[in-house]
Structure 1
Amino acid sequence: MGDVVESLTDVAVVRNTQVLFKDYVKGYPTKSDMVVTSDGTIRLELPKDKDGVILIKNLYLSCDPYMRGRMTKDKKGSYVASFTPGSPLAGYGVAKVLESSHSDFKKGDFISGLTNWEEYSLITDPQSLIKIQHTDVPLSYYTGILGMAGMTAYVGFYEICSPKKTDAVFVSAASGAVGQLVGQFAKLLGCYVVGSAGSKEKVDLLKNKFGFDEAFNYKEEGDLDAALKRYFPDGIDIYFENVGGKMLDAVLSNMNVHARIAVCGMISQYNLNQHEGINNLIFLILKRIRMEGFLITDHYNLYPKFLNTVLPLIQEGKITYVEDIVDGLKNGPAALVGLFSGKNVGKQVVAIAHEYFPDGIDIYFENVGGKMLDAVLSNMNVHARIAVCGMISQYNLNQHEGINNLIFLILKRIRMEGFLITDHYHLYPKFLNTVLPLIQEGKITYVEDIVDGLKNGPAALVGLFSGKNVGKQVVAIAHE
């Protein structure tokens, strides 16, 4: 929770960190076009004069290229309103419901949809929000693979492009939030897939992690037309368009008859005062190409079908998804503007608060004590178990920290049990028979932090209490 400013009648008023939009932008946006402030406050209760509203704590925010258009005043043809100077940025995110007077949402629910770039938001029209039903995947996925990016890849590839197993598929900006999924969908169908990206690291990612057949760094290609002929000697059947400009021009002349282009974005054009002209549109006629632009907001009726298709692929490990997560709203502006110079690797996300156990904790192995134990107790499930092995955070204190949440032992019927291993050495043969084969078969990994010589022993020992060791701290006197 944010810093409490005041507490009246048990309702907290807290500081609400926000990312504010300063003023309209020309050319490339910079961090200075936004300001991060904690001057604002919010009362953590619902207004008494309004029904159908929800109070949320934002957890993850999505950085998306379309947000650049909202930084321009009254952009011609825009499908979404411009940001208001002096107000928070807004975009897609994942949040936890703190309070609700809306029948579709209750306290503790997780939701995805449009929210402000701030710690807490009061949503007065939650109709467009989606209640997250599946929390067995990372919640951040609902900003990407299970959110707008995933839907964009799914609709663009399957609905717009009508793919066939024999198709040759080209994806630009292929390591981004959408492109990485399009390529994997195409490979699952059996297509030949090539992607372009802007660095060697991203090219390696496409081939070695996402399974693309080929990939190239467009920045190293002096002639894009020649590059495409090299990777597609028999032409391109499907192009998933994320870039525009020179890339689109080169693709058009390399497409096959009755090829399909799904126009998802044109990120190379978003920061230009004058868009680059496309010279090869004549090929739409000559090759009878279908080129179709789309907005994912027109297709959210397909979300249940999309979820039924993609969620099992994630759970079965058939799809890999890469996120580029930065922590804290203070890092949000840099993450957002980094999209337009290709700094992100994968889906760019801003994490405000992590929810690692949205469904609660069943087992906690306690080595630390103090504040960690207090936090864990309030997040445990009914009939959870805690094995208390150590409390290293307390060993050097003259007065141990108090644990405030022990009431949850009763409320959740938790079993918390301390133990000394000296009471259990009769189990050593059984332990050895279990663990030794796991080590020998490589099913268990163990990390040791070994220092050489007794002279280094004191430093190794005291280093335990400041966390200097990585793995099991050992002093080696003589190696055998």
Structure 2
Amino acid sequence: MGGGGVAAATVVESREWYLSAYAPENVPTSDHLKLRTVTVSLEYDSIADQHVALQVLFISVDPYLRSAMTGRDGDLCLPPLPLNKAITGFGIGKVIRSKNKNFSEGDIVTNPFIPVAEYCVVPSDFLRKIDPTVGINLPNYLSCLGVPGFTAWVAIEVIGNLNPASNVFISAAAGGVGMFAGQLVKLKGCRVVGSTGSHDKVQLLKNEFGYDDAFNYHKESDFDVALAKNFPNGIDFYLDNVGGNMLDAVLNHVNTGAHIVISGMISQYNIIPTEREGVKNLLNMVGKEVKMEGFLCGSYLNRFEEFAQQMEKYTKEGKIKSKHQINQGIESFFESFVSLFSSSNLGKVIVQVAP
């Protein structure tokens, strides 16, 4: 049902993804993530005050969700997802009904807590309108103007203290965060090298995102050798998205006063805490007076409007480019999510739920 039919309907059948069992280790399977059909009432009187009914258009597929599927208190300070309830993520929807005077039928909105579903009713607290007249494609609001772009911006513009002489390394560089972080680094005039998981992604980083160089970590038997080759003058700033052995190797190549900022550790998400890879080279932080810090972009929401204005300007000017892998249909969410842990995707992974 679409267009005016949805607007006129009082009840719709909606498919949604839910967590049926926790996955404490390894990549979640179809035993953990399941698709079902539920009935959603769009009757005006059934919608609570300050809530809106949405037709979901796009869902961002993000690795941070993995931390909330273990059944443990999340490593990223995320509480475990409740079992048998729809998973939520950052998404874009079209307002069908509204019990908030600030939102009208037909408005296009973003929300960090949209159910991974075709239709839903959500509180209006975190809704943000998208202006369709500014000429920015909707998927960009889930990439360069969404959580990945914001995470990259916080790391580089707020936390990082880069100058044009800085030698910068970014891991998972072709991922949702890395692709934008590298471009922001280049806008500061720095040299930047990225690691990624395939030859095609290496070419993407160098040819489309302006990286000075990149390497495929699957083809490197020794990360120390790879880093020594790419950073003969050492590393001044490292944006870590993977953790594990790559972080350990970086600590052997940092310069005095280097800064390591950690936004994620995707290599460790599917491993139970007692079996995760250790970091042996931390002593280098003392001798070289290295600063290492983690962050959550949610702690910087007071800077979101500043970020949005700057990144929207960069996007319009062509200074920031996006690459999307858009998979069609709500049924594609499972394979889309699993692809995050295999290096098989190319660009920011997004599910298009409705045309």
CA contact (8 A) 1:3 1:15 kept: no
Pick from 113, 126, 129: which aligns with 1:131?
129
Query: Whole-Å Cα distance in 2 between the matches of residues 241 and 77 of structure 1?
Result: 15
Matched, 1:118 2:117: yes
Deviation at 1:278, TM superposition (A): 0.6
Query: Whole-Å Cα distance in 1 between the matches of residues 180 and 229 of structure 2?
Result: 24
Deviation at 1:76, TM superposition (A): 5.5
What is the match of residue 346 of structure 2?
345
Any idea what the Cα deviations from partners look like across 1:69-114, whole Å, max 9, x if unmatched? Answer: 1111133555222222222111111111111112332222211121
Assess, with a 3 A threshold, how the Cα gap between structure 1 residues 104 and 121 changes in structure 2: closer, same or farther.
Answer: same
Any idea what the Cα deviations from partners look like across 1:143-199, whole Å, max 9, x if unmatched? Answer: 111011110000011111111111111010000111011111111111101001111
What is the match of residue 61 of structure 1?
59
Corresponding residue SS for 1:276 = coil
Matched, 1:74 2:75: no
The structure having more radius of gyration, on CA atoms, is 1
Deviation at 1:11, TM superposition (A): 4.1
Q: Which amino acid aligns with 2:337?
A: L
What is the match of residue 81 of structure 2?
83
Deviation at 1:3, TM superposition (A): 12
Assess, with a 3 A threshold, how the Cα gap between structure 1 residues 122 and 76 changes in structure 2: closer, same or farther.
Answer: closer
Any idea what the Cα deviations from partners look like across 1:317-368, whole Å, max 9, x if unmatched? Answer: 12211011100011110000110111211101000013xxxxxxxxxxxxxx
Percent sequence identity over matched residues?
A: 38
CA contact (8 A) 1:2 1:15 kept: no
Assess, with a 3 A threshold, how the Cα gap between structure 1 residues 95 and 290 changes in structure 2: closer, same or farther.
Answer: same
What is the match of residue 303 of structure 1?
304
Query: Whole-Å Cα distance in 1 between the matches of residues 305 and 173 of structure 2?
Result: 25
Q: Structure 1 regions of 5+ residues with no counterpart?
A: 355-480
Query: Whole-Å Cα distance in 2 between the matches of residues 146 and 224 of structure 1?
Result: 32
Matches within 5 A, 1:304-343: 304-343=305-344
Query: Whole-Å Cα distance in 1 between the matches of residues 311 and 3 of structure 2?
Result: 39
Q: How many residues of Structure 1 are paired with residues of Structure 2 in the alignment?
A: 349
CA contact (8 A) 2:168 2:192 kept: yes
Q: Which amino acid aligns with 2:182?
A: G
What is the match of residue 174 of structure 1?
173
Matches within 5 A, 1:187-266: 187-266=186-265
Deviation at 1:129, TM superposition (A): 2.3
Query: Whole-Å Cα distance in 2 between the matches of residues 162 and 221 of structure 1?
Result: 30
What is the match of residue 29 of structure 2?
30
Assess, with a 3 A threshold, how the Cα gap between structure 1 residues 3 and 162 changes in structure 2: closer, same or farther.
Answer: closer
Any idea what the Cα deviations from partners look like across 1:195-240, whole Å, max 9, x if unmatched? Answer: 0111101011111111111100111111101110111001011101
What is the match of residue 398 of structure 1?
none
Higher mean alpha-carbon deviation, 82-91 vs 171-180, is at 82-91
Query: Whole-Å Cα distance in 2 between the matches of residues 46 and 145 of structure 1?
Result: 35
What is the match of residue 185 of structure 1?
184
Which TM-score applies when normalising by structure 2?
0.94
Q: Which amino acid aligns with 2:312?
A: L
Assess, with a 3 A threshold, how the Cα gap between structure 1 residues 227 and 109 changes in structure 2: closer, same or farther.
Answer: same
Deviation at 1:253, TM superposition (A): 1.3
Relative CO higher for 1 or 2, CA cutoff 8 Å, sep ≥ 6?
2
Any idea what the Cα deviations from partners look like across 1:6-45, whole Å, max 9, x if unmatched? Answer: 99xx64311111112221013221244222223x111223
What is the match of residue 97 of structure 1?
95
What is the match of residue 106 of structure 1?
104
Assess, with a 3 A threshold, how the Cα gap between structure 1 residues 21 and 47 changes in structure 2: closer, same or farther.
Answer: farther
Query: Whole-Å Cα distance in 1 between the matches of residues 247 and 199 of structure 2?
Result: 22
Query: Whole-Å Cα distance in 2 between the matches of residues 76 and 82 of structure 1?
Result: 6
Query: Whole-Å Cα distance in 2 between the matches of residues 306 and 36 of structure 1?
Result: 35
Which TM-score applies when normalising by structure 1?
0.70
Q: Which amino acid aligns with 1:329?
A: I
Corresponding residue SS for 2:10 = strand
Query: Whole-Å Cα distance in 2 between the matches of residues 22 and 337 of structure 1?
Result: 16
Any idea what the Cα deviations from partners look like across 1:239-291, whole Å, max 9, x if unmatched? Answer: 01000000000001111111111100000000012221111111221111111
Query: Whole-Å Cα distance in 2 between the matches of residues 80 and 111 of structure 1?
Result: 24
Corresponding residue SS for 1:97 = strand
Query: Whole-Å Cα distance in 2 between the matches of residues 54 and 184 of structure 1?
Result: 36
Corresponding residue SS for 1:106 = coil
CA contact (8 A) 2:21 2:31 kept: no
Deviation at 1:2, TM superposition (A): 6.5
CA contact (8 A) 1:144 1:347 kept: yes
Corresponding residue SS for 2:44 = coil
Query: Whole-Å Cα distance in 1 between the matches of residues 55 and 181 of structure 2?
Result: 31
CA RMSD of aligned residues (A): 2.0
Pick from 38, 41, 44: which aligns with 2:39?
41
CA contact (8 A) 2:53 2:119 kept: yes
What is the match of residue 459 of structure 1?
none
Q: Which amino acid aligns with 1:218?
A: Y
Query: Whole-Å Cα distance in 2 between the matches of residues 222 and 304 of structure 1?
Result: 43
What is the match of residue 276 of structure 1?
277
Q: Which amino acid aligns with 2:296?
A: L
Q: Which amino acid aligns with 2:92?
A: V
Query: Whole-Å Cα distance in 2 between the matches of residues 33 and 2 of structure 1?
Result: 30
Matches within 5 A, 1:394-409: none
Query: Whole-Å Cα distance in 2 between the matches of residues 301 and 31 of structure 1?
Result: 38
Q: Which amino acid aligns with 2:257?
A: H
CA contact (8 A) 2:64 2:76 kept: no
Q: Which amino acid aligns with 1:192?
A: R
Matched, 1:153 2:127: no
Q: Which amino acid aligns with 1:261?
A: I
